[in-house]
Amino acid sequence: MMCVWAGIPGRQVVESTDMWQSSHRERPWLRWYQPGVPAEPEIPDVAVPRLLDDAAARHPRRPALVFHGARIRYRDLHEAVDRFAAGLHRLGVQPGDRVALVLPNCPQLVIAFFGVLRRGAIAVPYNPLSTAEELRHVLADCAPRAAVVLDRSLPAVRAARDAAPLEHLIVTSLGDALPPAARAALRLPLPEARRYRATLAAGVPAGADEVPFAELQRPADRRVRQFRLDPSRHLAVIAYTGGEARPMGAMLTHRNLVANACQQHAWDVEVKDGGEVTLAVLPLFHTFGMITCLVAPVQKAGSVVLLPRFDDEGVVRALRRYRPTVFPGVPTLYDQVLDSPRFRPSDLDSVRFLLSGGSPLTAATRRRLAALGHADGLIQAYGQTEASPALTANPLGGGARNDTVGLPLPGTDAVIVDPGDPTRPLPPGEPGELVARGPQVFAGYWNQPLATARVLSKGWLRTGDTAVMSADGWITLLERRRDTIKVSGFSVFPGEVEQVLRRHPAVFDCAVVGLPDARRGERVVAYVVEHPAYPFSAEELRRHCARYLSHYKVPAEFRLRQDLPRNMLGKVVRRRLRDAAAAG
């Protein structure tokens, strides 16, 4: 067996070994695929906007987008995208230029996303709630020529413009996407209209070099054609993801995005062309939302119900009014919907497919959804931004083992390797680093060749995550590598400790991190949100953990908190807890 180095001192990247070839050729997970799921998906060699073109040709009158009651048909969305691409051309945006999209879920984001790709430029979606400091790093790194910005995000983008030569700011408001009757009602001098108007428009004065979004929607002088490109090489998206110090831009090609959408549809054998409704509460600026709530639905001419932000009552109203068939989310989102006082079990009757990701599904959430008749339609998946993002999923149709992250998706190979010697595959049941490859694996990090070489070689992605694979191909994720705690040389996986803590009735929520310790390297610290009906006791929790965990895994400290820091997907951000502890 041969070990190949990536040219980085002290870091190995696997190129190829006989054992690896044998491991992925066998694909033991295929026996668990639902009937009709192929081992290799059919992936058209097309640019992402071609999916929209084909959907508009097949179902021109079907609603593509639904936003606050406004419905945009596929033929109208197709025309709006072409107009936007023509508008970018008038502004001087060239193929290969970057265009930042600082927008929540709204029709303007969808139009801009496909319009940027139609022009051959690269979309850089980013959180509209970001601070000027966060935006400054992204703008300096990818140097976009233009940015499409929500009016509420405009002050932060303006403050960050010194970091990059932004030539154009294209500004829009959520109110611009409302139907005419709703916009007219908002202008009425009524207290209710004023309050609602304040949630949809920020009223930020326009600057001299800022362009209204509507300006890029005027009719084009000539028909806009898709810029000719190679889907396997040309970038569609730069998606920023957590790096060692600062976020790094994951470069996703057109083929990456099309492939992951095809893999999702290959997995879902019951998907109906022109017959699905997806509830898009996940942010589209994140790759999870981008694929499951936009690219994949458009490929099958589905309707996408856009919610610009999460609130449980708004989600319940959307479930009742639009009767979605596909509801992607994260465990905390599902829990909050189920906990809503407005929720009724019948609200989920139309949903046949709940795709959960971002963080592990708890046993309690699985039980609650199973009690509502969704045991077969709920599946846990796993991925990374670097994989566009999905790598594995549990099968639909009753075969899910949702205490695992499931099986490699069609066309995806996976193997568990020794983190210290990634050329050495590990036997079934032994924890190690999950390494995977497939058509969805990214092209590398923008402007980061060394970071790229550490994780990517010959199409194989080192996920950095610790997992085990059973002999028959099921993968259980133990921990994200960056969160693994080292206590006197022993590895402690926070998820394992959190799972034990959640069994105690006093624990409403929890997060476990490692903090520096002079004697042991790190010590285990548990942050606990107390259950209102059960008093918090650190000593009682310590005894509880000692019953189920080795002594070095038992938290040295239990710290009480009112809540836990979470990202836009609802996932606990352990780094913020570590940073807060370091700051005292």
Q: What is the full DSSP assignment across 57-118?
A: HH-TTSEEEEETTEEEEHHHHHHHHHHHHHHHHHHT--TT-EEEEE--SSHHHHHHHHHHHH
Span 47-75, pLDDT tens digits: 999 999 999 999 999 999 999 999 999 99
Between 25 and 404, name the one with better pLDDT.
404
- The tokens for 15 are 């190129």
> Amino acid identity, residue 26?
E
Q: Which of 10-14, 82-86, 301-305, 363-367 has the lowest mean pLDDT?
A: 10-14
- The tokens for 232 are 């396997």
CA torsion through residues 120, 121, 124, 125, sign: negative
Residue ranges of alpha helices (H) inside 278-358 are 287-290, 296-299, 312-322, 331-339
pLDDT at 17 over 60: no
The predicted structure's pLDDT at residue 5:
26
DSSP character for 579?
A: H
Span 548-574, pLDDT tens digits: 888 888 999 999 999 999 876 677 888
- In the block, tokens 């310590």 appear at 542
- Cβ-contact 20, 457 below 8 angstroms: no
The predicted structure's pLDDT at residue 82:
96
- Cβ-contact 394, 293 below 8 angstroms: no
CA torsion through residues 86, 92, 97, 103, sign: negative
Average pLDDT over residues 406-412: 98
Q: Which of 9-18, 231-240, 267-276, 352-361 has the lowest mean pLDDT?
A: 9-18
CA torsion through residues 176, 181, 187, 191, sign: negative
Q: Which of 8-12, 34-38, 401-405 has the lowest mean pLDDT?
A: 8-12
What is the pLDDT confidence band of residue 197, given thresholds at 50, 70 and 90?
low
pTM here is 0.83
Minimal CA–CA distance to 264: which of 51, 479, 20?
51
Q: What totals of helices (H) and strands (E) does the chain contain, helices first?
A: 18, 28
The predicted structure's pLDDT at residue 16:
44
The predicted structure's pLDDT at residue 356:
94
The predicted structure's pLDDT at residue 369:
95
Between 63 and 246, name the one with better pLDDT.
63
Classify residue 321 as exposed, middle or buried by CB count within 10 Å of its CB (0-12, 13-18, 19+): exposed
pLDDT at 430 over 50: yes
The winner for highest mean pLDDT among 162-176, 288-302, 453-467 is 288-302
The predicted structure's pLDDT at residue 186:
58
The answer to whether the peptide bond before residue 389 is cis (omega within 30 degrees of 0) is: yes
- Cβ-contact 397, 34 below 8 angstroms: yes
Q: Which of 213-217, 292-296, 485-489 has the lowest mean pLDDT?
A: 485-489
pLDDT at 21 over 60: no
- Cβ-contact 154, 171 below 8 angstroms: yes
Residue 269's φ and ψ, nearest 5 degrees, are -70, -15
Between 134 and 371, name the one with better pLDDT.
371
Question: What is the distance between the alpha carbons of residues 509 and 332, in angstroms, rounded to a whole number?
Answer: 10
pLDDT at 25 over 70: no
What is the pLDDT confidence band of residue 22, given thresholds at 50, 70 and 90?
very low
What is the pLDDT confidence band of residue 254, given thresholds at 50, 70 and 90?
very high
What mean pLDDT, rounded, does the chain reach?
89
The predicted structure's pLDDT at residue 508:
93
What is the pLDDT confidence band of residue 443, given thresholds at 50, 70 and 90?
very high
pLDDT at 86 over 80: yes
Average pLDDT over residues 237-247: 76
Question: What is the distance between the alpha carbons of residues 435 and 422, in angstroms, rounded to a whole number?
Answer: 9
- Cβ-contact 118, 85 below 8 angstroms: yes
Question: Domains in the chain, please, with CATH?
Answer: 1-32+412-481 (2.30.38.10), 49-348 (3.40.50.12780), 484-582 (3.30.300.30)
Minimal CA–CA distance to 480: which of 468, 497, 467?
467
Average pLDDT over residues 331-360: 92
What is the pLDDT confidence band of residue 479, given thresholds at 50, 70 and 90?
confident
CB atoms within 10 A of CB 28: 15
